[in-house]
Amino acid sequence: MALLQGANPLTRGPHVEADFSPSAPAPRLGFVSFGASRLEPGSGSLGLSVGPGERSSFPAPIRAVNETRAAHINGRADGAQGENLDQISPVGNSANIKWHQCSVGKLDRQELLQQKGCVIWITGLSGSGKSTVACALSRALHSRGKLTFVLDGDNVRHGLNRDLSFKAEDRAENIRRIGEVAKLFSDAGVICIASLISPYRKDRAACRALLPEGDFIEVFMDVPLQVCEARDPKGLYKLARSGKIKGFTGIDDPYEPPLDCEIVLKQTERDCASPCDMAEQVISYLEEKGYLMA
Active-site annotation, residues = 198
Contact assessment for residue 195 and residue 128, using Cβ atoms and an 8 Å cutoff? no
Distance CA 292, CA 208 (A): 20
Burial of 92 by CB count in 10 Å (0-12 exposed, 13-18 middle, 19+ buried)? exposed
Each as own residue / partner, the long-range contacts of residues 135-139 (CB below 8 Å, 24 or more positions apart, any chain) are: 135/275, 136/275, 136/276, 136/278, 136/279, 137/193, 137/279, 137/282, 137/283, 138/193, 139/279
What secondary structure, in 3-state letters, does 63-130 show?
HHHHHCCCCCECCECCCCCCCCCCCCEEECCEEEECCCCCCCCHHHHHHHHCCCCEEEEEECCCCCCH
With 0-12 CB in 10 A as exposed, 13-18 as middle and 19+ as buried, what is 241?
middle
User: For residue 217, which amino acid is it?
Assistant: I
- Residue 281, H or E segment: helix 275-289
Identity of the amino acid at 206: A
Q: Which strand (E) or helix (H) includes residue 56?
A: strand 54-59
